[in-house]
Amino acid sequence: MELWQEMLRQSIDSGKDLVERFGFDKDTADRLNKFFHTRINPYYLSLIRYPGDPIWRQCIPDAVELEDTNAPEDPLNEEADSPVSSITHRYPDRVLFLITSQCSMYCRFCTRKRKVSDSTKINAKHIQEGIDYIAAHPEVRDVILSGGDPLMVTDYALEKVLSALRAIPHVEIIRLGTKMPCVLPQRITPKFCKMIRKYHPIYVNTHFNHPWECTSEAEKACGMLADAGCPVGNQAVLMKGVNDNADVMLELHRKLLKMRVRPYYIYQADLTKGTNHFRTPVRVGLEIMDKLRGHTSGLAIPYFVIDAPGGGGKIPLLPQYVLGRNGKDIILRNYKYDVYTYPDVEDETPQDNVVEQRYLRKRSNGRKSATPKMPTPSPEVVRVEK
């Protein structure tokens, strides 16, 4: 057994553990554990500095999860785009492929609780169905392996999936969506790195949310992935009491770059059941972006996105840098809120009109008497005060 597997065996993994280690009453512990299983491996547990800190909030259940009964179980409507249960095919040329339901730490904010931690939801038959689906769809050139965490399976089992995908001529790139470099960096072993080298191009999307997660162990794991030829990107989720603060986000993204991890997304928290206490106003994310851009390397700036409820996909949000037009001049502001005028060239079809026409055409499709109107952007979305 490898070290990471031994560490997994020592995880906090039951309602009984919650009672004994964290003083939950038995009934609450059982209800929380039934709502979403608890698993905290010893490495991630060791990062907690005090009760209620940003690490604690991500992994220790909270009774308020049980009060949030109205939110959907599938906020991104992934099931509607699932031709077979292991595949979500939402975008034209890429698919999400779930190869396990297991994770080394169950994040309390997880969007995919409906499948994660339940080992009956993804099995060998589902994996084969996923491979068959990808093989039968030549438009799929990009496969994102996820779960659960795809690095929860053994190197042998993962290699079987990778080699099957690489045998499909139209699969150009493979991405591993894994939280292991953050939550159990011991999973990134020389043996694993040697194996994935055979299946390039492989990209890794990992998931750090707070600078305290950027430990020497995590740095070593990310460095090994980079040395193995995998570009590593990070997806963070914006959460109240964890990272809803520009200084924390700045520190996180600078540390990630030092660890050879490129910031990729900051997600506005999804509307998942049991996660209402993590939600922040959209304004907070825009303010964070405003305080990153210009104040640190462009390399450290991720996209801030809302994954649209109901399955609309990722929609990027930006603070407002274009203040308006004066004739053909564009009035802009920079990161210090200094205002500049850029003399644009003559343009008979301003971009605003192109976007508006596309929007109106889409709204009119199939509706005989549609009288669509371009929505007025909410001031909260387009404007960030200094």
Q: Does 179 bind ligand SF4 (CB under 6 A)?
A: yes
Catalytic residue (one of 39, 43, 103, 273): 103
Summarize the chain as % helix, strand, coil (round to 5). Answer: 40, 20, 40
DSSP class per residue in 361-373: HHHHTT-TT----
114 is catalytic: no
Six token digits for residue 297? 């390397």
- The residues near 119 (Cβ < 8 Å, ≥ 6 apart) are 101, 102
Residue from the set 65, 74, 78, 149 that interacts with ligand SF4 by CB under 6 A: 149
CB of 355 to ligand SF4, least distance (A): 33
289 within 8 A of 300, measured Cβ to Cβ: no
Q: Does 110 bind ligand SF4 (CB under 6 A)?
A: yes
90 is catalytic: yes
Closest CA to 73 of 347, 286, 270: 270
Q: Does 158 bind ligand SF4 (CB under 6 A)?
A: no
DSSP 344: P
Q: Does 145 bind ligand SF4 (CB under 6 A)?
A: no
Work out the number of other CB atoms within 10 angstroms of the CB of residue 352. Answer: 10
CB of 102 to ligand SF4, least distance (A): 8
- Give the H or E element holding residue 144: strand 142-146
Residue from the set 37, 89, 94, 112 that interacts with ligand SF4 by CB under 6 A: 112
Question: How far apart are alpha carbons 379 and 32 in whole angstroms?
Answer: 39
240 is catalytic: no
Q: Does 47 bind ligand SF4 (CB under 6 A)?
A: no
112 is catalytic: yes
Nearer residue to ligand SF4 within complex by CB, 210 or 254? 210
21 is catalytic: no
CB of 146 to ligand SF4, least distance (A): 7
User: Up-side HSE of residue 231: CA atoms within 13 Å toward CB?
Assistant: 9
- The residues near 124 (Cβ < 8 Å, ≥ 6 apart) are none
Q: Does 184 bind ligand SF4 (CB under 6 A)?
A: no
Q: Does 181 bind ligand SF4 (CB under 6 A)?
A: no
Residue from the set 12, 116, 256, 289 that interacts with ligand SF4 by CB under 6 A: 116
325 is catalytic: no
CB of 318 to ligand SF4, least distance (A): 25
Catalytic residue (one of 59, 107, 182, 214): 107
Convert 122-150 to b/e letters by CB count within 10 Å (16 or more is b): beeebbeebbebbbebeebeebbbbbbbb
Residue from the set 103, 134, 143, 224 that interacts with ligand SF4 by CB under 6 A: 103
Q: Does 78 bind ligand SF4 (CB under 6 A)?
A: no
The binding site for ligand SF4 (CB under 6 A) comprises: 103, 106-107, 110, 112, 116, 147-149, 179
Residue positions annotated with a catalytic role: 90-91, 94, 103, 107, 110, 112, 270, 307, 314
